[in-house]
Chain A
Amino acid sequence: MHSGYGTREVIRGVSLSLGAGEIVAMIGPNGAGKSTLLRTIFGFLRPTRGTLHLDGESIAGVRPHQMVRRGIAYVMQGHNVLPGLSVEDNLQLGAYVRVDRQVRTDLDRLLEQFPILQARRRQKAGVLSGGERRILELARVLLQRPKVVLLDEPTLGLAPRMIDQVYDVVHSVKGAGVAVFVVEQNVRTALRHAHRACVLEQGTVRFEGRGEEMLQHPEVKRVYLGG
């Protein structure tokens, strides 16, 4: 895949595959194009070249809201909650594209699973702390019942305890047979949780390998792990 803004190419030929029940991490310096790649996969940006397949079917050029119907969930970098709607409404909108009758049961189960959300279900999502917002966003992804989840720096700015909680949820998403693609600045965390990982630099993949292996990779160690 190639992609960019106007005439400026940011993603310069990236090839990736994700398997069901797998967590794949992408790390790389600021400005490498990680967010641009996710935007292009989701359809916010049109790839200048390349293909995109889901379960063998081409999904290149599908409009973003249709991507959700096809089973792709996307948690953008930064803000993803709707601050003026209640926590429960935010959660419920995760099921916007679902037509089955199980939504209510799933929602109740999620509220049980996340006591923070239960306690604040009637409050506006704008009052939540950064960590609570992340939990809300991920719980909403669970309600979406996606096949593929794209996460853009889900632990940015979070305290270590919250980071563990976020990854607990990520693992439960994966446990349901979902392919998770997570972009991280937090290299150690990412490599510890991911099955596979790759390093994006200036729009191309510099290294890739199994998560644990990457922790031992001399180049990765030198540049990203400080020794």
Chain B
Amino acid sequence: MDFVLQAALNGVLLGLVYGLVALGLSLIWGVTDIVNLAHAEYLMLGMYATYWLWALAHIDPLYAIPLVVPAFFLFGYVTYRVLIRRILSAPMVSQIFATFGLLFFLRYSAFAAFGPNVRGIWGSRLEGSVPLGGLVLSLPKGAAALAALCTFAGLWLFLNRTRTGKALQATAQDHRVAQTLGIDTEQMFALSWGIGIGAVGVAAVFLSPFYQTSPAIGDAFLLLAFSSVVLGGFGTVSGALVGGLCIGLVENVLGALIAPTFKLLFVFVVFIAVLLVRPAGLVGK
């Protein structure tokens, strides 16, 4: 029984991180109507950034936050200004090709620059584990989960308690109406990319101490983030959180009970089953 509880604990911790990756995907999707297929490539690059800061400048991941997160906010912002802005009113197929192209561009740039080797950080301040009522709490995973929760809370407050946050919500709901209220929707679109990719930066930094990176690491995360967004209910902050938690739990608990090799299979079986019953997702109406 203990190993199930242990798997559930890990599932919750990882699920929050999946939720954090899903959050950016969902926000960008909700505000700009663009499905960012390259989303998890930013995660991969964020992990490389954290790795190189550690390997070359001896900066611990814990202290990489104030460097990586603002840089990734800017990265998202610039991606919008340079690429996404041009495809906003393009047909859906062109949009898919554009972000798919971006995925390949980022991934193979990483291959070219860093080679195919798997790279991991060791000896970080975020290492080790503590006992927790008969279970083992991994410190780096706990820290990642806590960071995810803080990001969720921060974003919720921003969206619901600030003028700019409400303008962002208005833009997501109807960008024409938002413009008739004097909201610069271009600015809001760029902001959603900044926040979405910035959130991925947070996830990348906190994944680094316990998850090795390589150029193709994005695949699994993109699928998990997508499932979280769709499962939780598209377009809401709480949806990404709930979706991520479910995915993390299913993956880890069923993986531990049956076979870890088939973790992703279980995720998608449950994913399809939930959507058959609730097509709008768990949080959606």
Contact = CB atoms under 8 A, between A and B. Distances in A.
A97 B169 CA distance: 16
A79 interface: yes
A45 B116 CA distance: 49
B182 interface: yes
Between A64, A69, A73, A97, the greatest number of chain B beta carbons within 10 A of the residue's beta carbon is seen for A64
B167 A93 contact: yes
A82 B174 contact: yes
B185 interface: yes
B181 interface: yes
Q: How many residues of B sit at the interface, in one of the four size bands?
A: 10 to 19
B169 A85 contact: yes
A42 B182 CA distance: 11
A28 interface: no
Given A76-B177, A93-B170, 14 more contacts: A64-B179, A68-B181, A76-B176, A76-B180, A79-B174, A79-B177, A81-B177, A82-B169, A82-B173, A85-B166, A85-B169, A93-B181, A93-B183, A96-B183
A71 to B, nearest CB: 10
Contact of B179 (A65, A75, A85, A140): A65
A23 B167 CA distance: 31
B214 to A, nearest CB: 40
B127 interface: no
B163 A96 contact: yes
Given A65-B185, A79-B174, A83-B173, A89 B180 contact: no
- For the complex, would chain B's binding face be called helix, strand, loop or mixed by DSSP majority? helix
A65 B177 contact: no
A103 to B, nearest CB: 11
Contact of B169 (A75, A81, A84): A84
Contacts, number: 57
A74 interface: yes
Interface string B161-194: 0010011011001101111111111000000000
A123 interface: no
Given A65-B185, A89-B166, A92-B166, A74 B173 contact: no
Contact of B182 (A75, A83, A85, A96): A96
A80 B177 contact: yes
A181 to B, nearest CB: 14
Contact of A73 (B163, B177, B180, B184): B180
30 contacts: A44-B176, A44-B179, A64-B180, A65-B185, A68-B179, A68-B182, A69-B182, A74-B180, A76-B176, A76-B180, A79-B174, A79-B177, A81-B177, A82-B169, A82-B177, A84-B173, A85-B173, A89-B166, A92-B166, A93-B167, A93-B170, A93-B181, A93-B183, A94-B181, A96-B167, A96-B181, A96-B182, A96-B183, A97-B182, A144-B181
